[in-house]
Structure 1
């Protein structure tokens, strides 16, 4: 593995998250040692000389640090490496800023909070990877947030069915555990309305707008129902995905069975089996076999598209990164692409896509503008 301005950033992310392999840590230490000794060639980071490297680096650091009133402290070897690595990452970032003139303008991505609203329309923000509790007016704990998951407690003392609404904005995903133990993975730009507590012997009903994957706890005495604007889905205990982003909502089944109906109509039930996708088109269900893993990839932080039109891919990218994309290269709208991205930044992904799909892009007024290549 050769360290350069692209993979240094990825290795640094793995390092601070304790995800580096032993080989990667060894490689990183050798790189840092060579940098301290002055044997590392900074031209691999895009600089003509070490003086140029230092000038750009110091200019960047001086804008980001404050030394007034700072206490002196001993730097351990580990912190020494981390400090140097941060400097190198800063240089790598500067490389992107100073060597890509057509895309040199920064993209500012707003960090929106996940929100939960109770029946009294009282809204509370949930910060990703936070840890805290939610209480009712009596001071009783009704839910506990641990990291990126919020779990509601089964409370038999609650007699009334009180509904809450959780909203996950673009750029984020979240996991909700309902009071019966059912796990709901919520994708970006998704709203779910659900009760704080289910009552024994009564239907367990939730309302969805967006995309979610349900792992339903089996209860033969209390069917689990998902309502959307267009669909009504009934299950006992199973695992399935529901997507209502577009005008043709669909469900994908991975385990058990589900029965689908058109919402607010006395239509017959359509039952699907694992590996099938049911899409509502023109008031009829179209059923086909699919690779379910492609539909669940977002749960694992992946962005996957399998022979999807460019226009739909743009919508996925906008939800994933919380950005706005304007495509002026309309000839590409219906062209289908395949691809898979993991934890790439929006710029890394666009650069990769640009090379394979052959389009140009720029950042203007905090929008990504896709254009036809100049040489076409």
Structure 2
């Protein structure tokens, strides 16, 4: 990128007039910049980056690495994790995380298992009607979207259950026959009736993570069951994180109200918007949170708030389908920030390395975390 073009993009970014394409171009330039090619020194790049970030409307003047106030040096918005006071720029003579080892992000892919056991690869299925059950038509509208139609016409007494399963690095979206909208994250499984007709309750089963926008129906409560708890609602928006490799089950409410009940104990909690229930060691607690953090994955981001490297790497492992190993002690400091889920892993790891708390070595699909 020519120096004149670069300065022009910096100016537009500062003024908030960059197009999405220009933002991506500027961000990609930063990740690969070479001082010799641009004619800008590391010091100048840092100064420009600090000014741009500080003056961008709606953005904080600094990110925090827990316990330390830090100043941004040139990592642009949308790719930040948190940076130390002394931002470490890569020496252009060093290759860092080699592109040859790069790993692409996840995408829309899942398997639909019908009531009779038939399995349909939703990624490969053509758009249009892909199956029928009784009078139910199952339609793939686009890549990543599934809809159930004519669900109210199912013959009485006939309940057929379907399951959508996403692999590592997969996700999917489904509209249930009652109009409920469900976003399924990677490494998750969701089981539900192909029709809710003649059912007093709309009961579904979840393993992993999903975001729900439940269609309102006061006469028929919507119930989500996981291995440890049950969520009961009438019509609301909420997120459930119940991954088996996480230390707790988290239910976060964005709109309406939900009732959270433990499967093993007679304990019930009511959530209000902006609250999250945390189930850990068979104890259920409620806390206030920023609900947008819980649904960042659905909106295309990883968003971290006082998250440790190990916690971050669990998320990356599921989305990039990688194996994670550790060499020596790893920092337990909490990190704050946000990064796109649609970056190649080298870009995400580079942003994490900019915190000064961690380094990475990539070999094939194995990522080793080092101090």
Any residues of structure 2 matched to 1:1-376 within 5 Å, and which?
21=19, 24=22, 44=37, 100=95, 103=98, 105-107=100-102, 113-127=109-123, 131-136=127-132, 141-159=137-155, 160-245=158-243, 246-263=246-263, 265=264, 267-332=266-331, 334-342=332-340, 343-372=342-371
Where does structure 1 lack aligned partners over 5 or more consecutive residues?
A: 8-19, 29-40, 47-97
Q: Which SS does the other structure have where 1:210 is aligned? A: strand
Q: Partner residue of 2:76?
A: none
Moved over 6 A (4+): 137-140
Larger radius of gyration: 1
Q: Partner residue of 1:95?
A: none
Give distance in 2, aligned partners of 1:240 and 1:202.
Answer: 22
TM-score (norm 2): 0.70
More divergent stretch after superposition (209-218 vs 136-145)? 136-145
Q: Partner residue of 1:37?
A: none
Give distance in 2, aligned partners of 1:365 and 1:217.
Answer: 44
Give distance in 2, aligned partners of 1:234 and 1:139.
Answer: 28
1:352 shift after superposition = 1.6
Which whole-Å deviations, capped at 9, do the CAs of 1:272-304 have from their partners, x for residues lacking one? 111110111232211010000111111111111
Q: Alpha carbon RMSD of aligned pairs, Å?
A: 3.5
Q: Which SS does the other structure have where 1:179 is aligned? A: coil
Give distance in 2, aligned partners of 1:140 and 1:278.
Answer: 36
Contact 2:135 2:151 in 1 (8 A): no
Which whole-Å deviations, capped at 9, do the CAs of 1:223-271 have from their partners, x for residues lacking one? 10000000111111111111101241121111111111112x4614211
Give distance in 2, aligned partners of 1:288 and 1:111.
Answer: 31
Where does structure 2 lack aligned partners over 5 or more consecutive residues?
A: 7-17, 27-33, 40-92
Q: Partner residue of 1:49?
A: none
Which whole-Å deviations, capped at 9, do the CAs of 1:78-128 have from their partners, x for residues lacking one? xxxxxxxxxxxxxxxxxxxx9626636424569784111112221110118
Q: Which SS does the other structure have where 1:330 is aligned? A: coil
Give distance in 1, aligned partners of 2:152 and 2:140.
Answer: 17
Q: Which SS does the other structure have where 1:180 is aligned? A: coil
Q: Comparing both structures, which one devotes a greater share of its residues to helix? A: 1
Asked which structure has the greater RCO (Cα within 8 Å, sep 6+), the reply is: 2
Contact 1:151 1:178 in 2 (8 A): yes
1:192 shift after superposition = 0.3
1:141 shift after superposition = 2.8
